[in-house]
């Protein structure tokens, strides 16, 4: 085992900065919504790097990209990676760190002229974020067979465009069958996107699992009417019902406590005019918990309250599930290895659950899987100000390198 091998932190930071120029937005953030022109340009850049590093690039029919480095023996590769799509107001590290650290692992192996026993692969999955097309993580869901390809391709985005059409338009509807190559194991490096590591002075997170995620969309239909002449008792105010649901979700999360969180992240109101009672609202609620029973309780109570408050106002309500994932536990001995390797490197390490969704939780259904976290300054993410110090990026990539080497031998 090459215990002294380390990645090149400057080269990793250089690639991160270069990719961040594609879809760059004000404040040093990034907007590369899945299957957009910016996503295409980002994909082209990463595929170019993969080819420069000598990887065999495979693109499947949902646009997942896997670059494979041959081993001394054939067989399923040890896979690492993440995603390069972003939310509309994203930062520079969410997803891209995992992909570019994977390329840095490959570059390091190339420089040291090491051929591992098993192949090593770097993947980026289509539409991890789910901001444009729901559910999130749909590239990895199709890869593992949990979501039928045809359903994913037919998915309509927030702009009304269809995922399959957009995939073809950007030139990433590839020829490879989904689910190939199969992975021997999957390891993903990611920024924590929360405050725990920084607050405790930890450099590495050994991620034990990912909390459950429930995304719902409510459509409320009332009656638009004159804001001055309509008595309060005669209103069918969809905006009022939306506000009550949003406040209830917040109170519910506090009441259930622990890891329970609740977010109303999208809300559109019509006709959205100062002097008209709103007749139409579409809103989303994101509920998450590490405990499936508590998450189900949160759903039950939220849905019951929404029905009740809508009925009382004479407002129609329909509800649609946009995404639903049960909590996932990562492979215990891999979590242990992340912890042990960090300790070996003298890096303060903490075991913790992930609050965000990740492709690794989907991959965990088909192979041993785990994640490595590095601290996010101020716990800020899904925000242009997302930041992780270069030394922490490099430390995470070093832990990744060591674990990939172990798994590939």
Minimum CB distance to Mn ion smaller for 95 or for 139: 95
Angstrom distance (rounded) from CA 218 to CA 241: 11
What SS3 class is residue 178? coil
Please state the φ and ψ torsions of residue 46, each to the nearest 5 degrees. -70, -40
Confirm or reject binding of residue 355 to Mn ion (CB under 5 A). no
Q: Does residue 95 interact with Mn ion by CB under 5 A?
A: yes
- The minimum distance between CB 311 and Mn ion, in angstroms, equals 36
Query: In whole angstroms, how close is the CB of 374 to Mn ion at the nearest point?
Result: 13
Residue of 92, 88, 95, 96 lying closest to 28 (CA atoms): 92
What CA–CA distance (Å, rounded) separates 152 from 136? Answer: 11
Q: What is the largest CA-CA distance in the chain?
A: 79
| Both structure tokens of 94 | 């969410």
Shortest distance in whole angstroms from residue 123 CB to ligand GLV: 17
Identify what 67 binds: ligand GLV, Mn ion, none; CB under 5 to 8 Å per kind. none
Residue 170 near residue 93 (C-beta atoms within 8 A): no
Q: Footprint of ligand GLV on this chain (CB under 6 A)?
A: 129, 136, 356-357
Q: How far is the CB of 201 from Mn ion (least distance, A)?
A: 24
- Toward ligand GLV, which CB reaches closer, 186 or 325? 325
Considering CB distances under 5 to 8 angstroms, the limit depending on partner class, which of Mn ion, ligand GLV, none binds residue 357?
ligand GLV
In the complex, residue closest to Mn ion by CB: 95
Which window, 19-27, 88-96, 180-188, 296-304, contacts Mn ion (CB under 5 A)? Answer: 88-96
Q: Beta-strand (E) ranges in 52-110?
A: 56-59, 65-69, 78-82
How far is the C-alpha of 407 from the C-alpha of 188, rounded, in Å? 13
Q: Does 81 bind Mn ion (CB under 5 A)?
A: no
Report, in Å, the least distance between residue 136 CB and ligand GLV.
5
Total residues at the site for Mn ion (CB under 5 A)?
A: 2
CA distance 93 to 106: 19
The nearer residue to ligand GLV, 107 or 360, going by C-beta atoms, is 360
């Amino acid at each position: 085992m090459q215990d002294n091998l380390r990645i090149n932190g400057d080269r990793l930071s250089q690639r991160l900065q270069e990719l961040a120029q594609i879809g760059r937005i004000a404040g040093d953030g990034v907007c590369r919504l899945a299957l957009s022109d910016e996503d295409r340009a980002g994909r082209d850049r990463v595929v170019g790097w993969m080819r420069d590093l000598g990887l065999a690039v495979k693109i499947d029919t949902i646009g997942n990209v896997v670059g494979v480095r041959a081993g001394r023996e054939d067989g399923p590769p040890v896979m690492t990676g993440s995603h390069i799509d972003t939310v509309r107001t994203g930062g520079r590290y969410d997803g891209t760190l995992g992909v570019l650290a994977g390329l840095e692992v490959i570059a390091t192996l190339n420089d040291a002229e090491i051929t591992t026993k098993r192949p090593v692969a770097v993947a980026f999955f289509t539409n991890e974020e789910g901001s444009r097309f729901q559910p999130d993580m749909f590239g990895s869901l199709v890869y593992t067979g949990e979501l039928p390809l045809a359903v994913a391709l037919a998915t309509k985005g927030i702009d009304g465009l269809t995922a399959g059409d957009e995939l073809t338009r950007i030139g990433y509807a590839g020829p490879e069958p989904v689910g190939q190559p199969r992975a021997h194991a999957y390891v993903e490096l990611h920024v924590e996107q929360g405050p725990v590591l920084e607050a405790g002075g930890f450099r590495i997170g050994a991620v034990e699992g990912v909390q459950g995620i429930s995304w719902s969309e409510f459509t409320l239909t009332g009656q638009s009417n004159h804001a001055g002449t309509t008595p309060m008792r005669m209103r069918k105010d969809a905006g009022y019902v939306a506000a009550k649901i949003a406040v209830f979700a917040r109170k519910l999360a506090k009441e259930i406590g622990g890891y329970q969180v609740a977010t109303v992240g999208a809300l559109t109101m019509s006709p959205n005019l100062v002097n008209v009672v709103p007749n139409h609202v579409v809103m989303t609620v994101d509920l998450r918990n590490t405990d499936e029973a508590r998450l189900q309780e949160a759903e039950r109570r939220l849905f019951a309250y929404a029905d009740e408050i809508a009925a009382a106002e004479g407002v129609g309500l329909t509800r649609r599930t946009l995404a639903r994932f049960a909590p996932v536990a990562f492979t215990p001995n891999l979590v242990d290895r992340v912890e042990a390797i960090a300790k070996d490197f003298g890096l303060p390490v903490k075991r913790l659950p992930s609050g965000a969704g990740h492709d690794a939780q989907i991959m965990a259904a088909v192979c041993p899987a785990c994640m490595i976290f590095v601290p996010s300054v101020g716990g800020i993410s899904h925000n242009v100000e997302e930041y992780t110090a270069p030394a922490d990026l490099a430390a995470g990539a070093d832990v990744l390198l060591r674990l990939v080497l172990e798994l590939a031998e």
